[in-house]
Structure 1
Amino acid sequence: MRLLSVSISILTLILSFHSQAAVEKPHFPSPDILPTGTRVGLMAKSPTSTLLYKNNDMLFPPASTLKLFTALAAKIELGDDFRYQTTLAQSGSDLILTFSGDPSLTSADIEQLLSDAKIKEIKGNLLIDNTAFTGYEKAVGWPWDILGVCYSTPSSAITLNNNCVMASIYTNKDGTTRSFVPEHQPITLSTSARAITRQQQKEQYCDLELNATQTNQYFLSGCLVKREQPLPLNFAVQNPFLYASTTIQQILKDNHIKLNGSIQLAQAKPHSAKQLATHQSATLPVLLEHMLKDSDNLYANNITKTLGGHFFKQAGSFTNGSQAIKTILKQQAKIDLSNAILEDGSGLSRNNRISPNHLYALLKYIKANDHKLHFVHLMPTAGVNGTLEYRASMRKAPIKGQIVAKSGSLFATHNMAGFVVDEQGQPATIFVQLVTDYHPQANTSTIAPITQFETALYQNLIKATVK
């Protein structure tokens, strides 16, 4: 009997050792993988480990990881039943079209509004009400050189078709270029850019440059490498009212609706008007899923202004929207962002600053409350969807499918924040990765240092989570 007891004890120790060996302790890869001068802030906590951290109270540019704060504040303040409403009303002989900042509103929605209201003729003017938002349409800290492209489109109550227009540029055999704008796009585009070889571009240090005006005119100059197919272009609308009014004029014409007056910007919110029709957006979770998975800046910024308007009961702005996010999260989730700097809700501003501690507190709250928040499934999954579908470090096993997170990228900044999921697909390990001042030497023959760093980090975290 004693021999049997000893044998069982030894077997138990062996099984225990193998069980523990199957799950590694989480650790961070050496920062030496990254170029000299790179700043790194890291945090990780698996279900069985102590909290690991490095530079956890240092402030970093959050880039699009800031959208996690915007989304959580919206979930708490607005609720899952929230929908944007765009309304059509009548005041005397005038019609009033009230925009609410719905980032998903399309021309087809406006057309349906007019149909629902059974509008055949507008005897007076069509007034556009944009009083839902106030202040800047472009946040403090947005770089001037990206304002013409669609990921930095203005955040306006008047949002239609993503406030984004399409065009293209062709290279000609004689070294010139020509532009094309679809007939339905109410913009003008001209080009003086030269068509050159790739070698000439390298020798002349010449790139394609864009200038845009407040009348939604776009000018291309500089150089474009010769190409067989046209280069697709997407431009941010510079004047949302002008774009919307011109688009609506075409909708009226296409639907044989006579406008006796003109389309004007309402000078003040009308006191009394008879509501004729309402368009509602999808519910908030649908909007947030698009915002997080596609990292849509317009959605994030308009939702931020909506939060400011809803929380402070006034027209929304970047200023009160950013403050609303801080206040809501502190009051309702005990997430203290008092020393964080928020200029927008998207992370596009180069002035934004948060710490790993801020992100960790947010993720910890989400993990503890996801049974009622239903937040985690709104985030991208590594190698599967959203902005993580093709991320170099996440396309293959064992990382593919095991990470649910929000990425964030700006110049010299590569961030990630989220969860390693367990065997049941539930969030288990929390992690934060903030990397900035990342300036690798150009070398196309090796895997990028940031990819090596992320691969090592997340492979270890997965091993420390999944048995």
Structure 2
Amino acid sequence: MKLILASLLSLSLLAPVIHAQESLKDLTHPALNGHRLPDGTDVALMVVDANSNEVLYSSYADQVRQPASTQKLVTALAAAIYLKDYRFETRVERNNQDIIFHFTGDPTLTRSQLRVLVERLKSYQDSIEGNVYLNGAAFDTFERAIGVPWDIMGVCYSAPSSALTLNGNCVYGRLEATSEPPITGVRATAPEQVNIRAGDISMRQGLEYLSVDCGLKLIADNQNNYTVGGCLETHRLPVNFHLAIQNPTVFTAKILNEELQRAGIRLNGEIIRNDRVKGDEILVVHRSAPMMELIDTMVKDSDNLIADNLLKTIGRFYYDKPGSFENGAAAIKAILRSEASIDLDSAIIVDGSGLSRNNRMTASQLMQVVQYIFKNPDLGLVSTMPVSGRSGTLRGRPSVSHELLVGKIAAKTGAIYGTYNLAGRIQARSGRHLYFVQIISNYHPADDRNRRQPLRAFERRLYESLYNDY
């Protein structure tokens, strides 16, 4: 097995690997032919025996890399330890003639749940003589982490982390043809709370230049106005897509105004964002699902918004200040150091999701988190892990969802541009459990159409080897 692992890495054209016990000289193995990663790819890999804690394999485990969404394990562990039974609350309060909607960053709050709050408000009064205030003091007003690329801010997996979070701060959009083929124009539609238009879009007919230098582009401003441009292959129409809300305050105010009208509550004043105003009477409260349910969704589905809002919430309570990316990251490090003896002081944690390109962590640091999660099952985090071929982001991952490995791997995935990571536990054929951390970076295949194939072949051989040989 040691020889096979070394061969896997050598065929990736890496620098010589370091084994935990001895240096490896023979870095070839006929069974691995065709399983190389593209030139220039870097791999950090660590494998540890779950019972003895023996390091079975370690390659570049102390070099800092981008953790991507495997960083959600760090957020999950801190939240499970520190927030425990916490539930997000959304409250409707009254102060004289004013009504305050007090938001605390519930990442699962929906319009339907807001509607229930408004309907229950109607049982107290059918008119509001003053203003409706939106209080988002739970978080600071910086809703995007440093290092999140500007060109993904319009898509829902990078929705802003705001105390005012509603419907995941995401809406649906659609592009459709305005004529029969040959198509010469399109129109863009989206919910009325946002404005969207089709800008300068180049139409590409036929399939001869499929996906070559042709893609849609999105421009969004701070008032939730969107323009779609770029290039479109007409055979793909209609195109459905998700749009990240750029201004949660404007979005929430519009929806709340619609719900007040729907409920027949007359508003004489305005809907205004004010994080200082407080009510002297609580009328209605909505509570989110328990913390572990949110963590389960975050880990299994790799939900970025839940992760970032949890990080800010941890910072809010730990420092008794509005939650921010900065105080949340500092709080997580402090909590894991004091409660789990995990030292992440040298790690660069910028957000809770791993979406920022500025995050940095070593495989050995991530291994500490993996070990703690599995060695402390009472925390309830083991069951949140995606399982190969069965649940979450590992349900359909081709490299580990085939018959041999179904149900054998419980791990968190992580992927951003050029980075493909996996961290968790595998049960070998013998019944032995192994912890592993895989961080693959600078992965850029020459053949973009089949870009995942070398990765899938590499991962399949790696985890089959771990399964069969231990």
What TM-score, normalized to structure 1? 0.89
Task: Report SS of the residue matched to 1:332.
Answer: helix
1:148 to 134, 154, 159: 154
* Alignment equivalent of 1:416, drawn from 413, 422, 438: 422
For residues 109 and 367 of structure 1, what CA distance do their matches in structure 2 show?
35
Correspondence list, 1:209-224, <5 A: 209-224=217-232
Whether 2:347 is the aligned partner of 1:358: answer no
- Give CA-to-partner distance per residue, 1:58-87, whole Å, 9 cap, x none: 0010000000000000001111x2100000
Secondary structure of the 2:399 match is helix
Kindly indicate whether residue 287 of structure 2 is the aligned counterpart of residue 301 of structure 1: no
The alignment partner of 1:330 has SS state of: helix
* Matched ranges for 1:37-76 at <5 A: 37-47=40-50, 50-51=54-55, 52-76=57-81
Q: Does 1:251 align with 2:259?
A: yes
* 2:175 maps to which of 157, 166, 169: 169
Amino acid at match of 1:43: M
Match of 1:4 in 2: none
Find the partner of 2:187 among 172, 178, 187: 178
- 2:392 and 2:150 map into 1 onto residues whose CA distance is 27
**Percent identical residues:** 37
> Aligned equivalents of 1:156 and 1:456: distance in 2?
42
Q: Within 2, Cα distance between the matches of 1:61 and 1:336?
A: 17
SS for the counterpart of 2:455 is helix
Q: In 1, are the aligned partners of 2:69 and 2:355 still within 8 Å (CA)?
A: yes
Counterpart selection for 1:122 from 128, 141, 145: 128
| In structure 1, distance between residues paired with 2:159 and 2:451 | 35
Moved more, 240-249 or 119-128: 119-128
Say whether the 8 Å CA contact 2:210–2:233 is kept in structure 1: no
CA drift of 1:389 comes to 1.3
Equivalence for 2:458: 453
Amino acid at match of 1:68: L
3-state SS of the aligned residue for 1:261? coil
Deviation string 1:81-122 (CA, Å, 9 cap, x unpaired) is 210000001000000000000000011111111223324221
Is contact 1:26–1:460 with CA below 8 Å preserved after alignment?
no
Which AA in structure 2 matches 1:238?
A: Q
Residue among 27, 30, 36 paired with 2:8: 30
Q: 1:423 and 1:322 mapped to 2: Cα distance?
A: 39
In structure 2, stretches of 5+ residues that fail to align are 12-35
Aligned-partner Cα distance in 2 for 1:164–1:63? 21
Deviation at 1:392, TM superposition (A): 1.9
Aligned to 1:7: none
Pick the aligned partner of 1:238 from 242, 246, 252: 246
Amino acid in structure 2 at the alignment position of 1:89: E
Q: What is the Cα deviation at residue 202 of structure 1?
A: 6.0
1-side partners of 2:343 and 2:50: how far apart? 24
1:158 counterpart = 2:159: no
Q: Where does residue 92 of structure 1 map in the other structure? A: 96
Distance in 2, Cα, partners of 1:139 & 1:250? 31
The corresponding residue for 1:14 is none
C-alpha displacement of 1:405: 0.5
Query: Which of 381, 387, 391 matches 1:381?
Result: 387
Deviation larger for 202-211 or 114-123: 202-211
CA distance in 1, matches of 2:211, 2:397: 32
State the alpha-carbon separation in 2 of the partners of residues 417 and 440 from structure 1: 23
Deviations 1:136-181 (A, max 9, x none): 2000000000000000010000000000010100134342111122
Offset of 1:273 from its aligned partner?
1.4
Separation of aligned partners in 2, 1:350 and 1:302: 18
- Per the alignment, residue 278 of structure 1 pairs with 285
Single out whichever of 355-364 and 383-392 deviates more from structure 2. Answer: 383-392
3-state SS, counterpart of residue 47 of structure 2: strand
Letter paired with 2:242: N
Measure, in 2, the Cα distance between the counterparts of 1:423 and 1:329.
33
Partners of 1:26 and 1:461 within 8 A in 2: no
Which segment drifts farther, 39-48 or 318-327? 39-48
- On the 8 A contact 2:318/2:331 being kept in 1, the answer is yes
Displacement, 1:463?
2.2
Partner of 1:18: none
2:437 corresponds to 1:437: no
* Deviant stretches of 4+, over 4 Å: 24-27, 198-204, 422-425, 443-447
Cα-Cα RMSD:
2.2
Tell me the CA shift for residue 35 of structure 1. 1.6
The equivalent of 1:208 in structure 2 is: 216
Paired positions, count:
436
446 and 285 in structure 1: CA distance in 2 versus 1, 3 angstrom threshold: closer
Change (3 A) 1:41 1:445: closer
Structure 2 CA distance for partners of 1:198 and 1:132, relative to 1, 3 Å: farther
CA distance in 1, matches of 2:451, 2:216: 28
**Aligned mate of 2:348, from 333, 341, 345:** 341
CA contact (8 A) 1:175 1:196 kept: no
Q: Deviations over 1:263-310 (max 9, x none)?
A: 00115142x510001000000010001111111111000000000001
Judged with a 3 Å threshold, the aligned counterparts in structure 2 of structure 1 residues 445 and 327 are, in CA distance, closer, same or farther, namely closer
Structure 2 residue 106 is matched with structure 1 residue 102 = yes
- Residues in 2 aligned to 1:97 and 1:209: alpha-carbon distance in whole angstroms: 36
Structure 1 counterpart of 2:87? 83
Does residue 328 in structure 1 map to residue 328 in structure 2? Answer: no
> Retained in 1: the 8 A contact 2:367–2:436?
yes
Amino acid across the alignment from 1:37: G
Q: Which segments of 5 or more consecutive residues in structure 1 lack a partner in the other structure?
A: 1-23
- Mapped to 1, the partners of 2:231 and 2:107 lie a distance apart of 34
Secondary structure at the counterpart of residue 315 of structure 1: coil
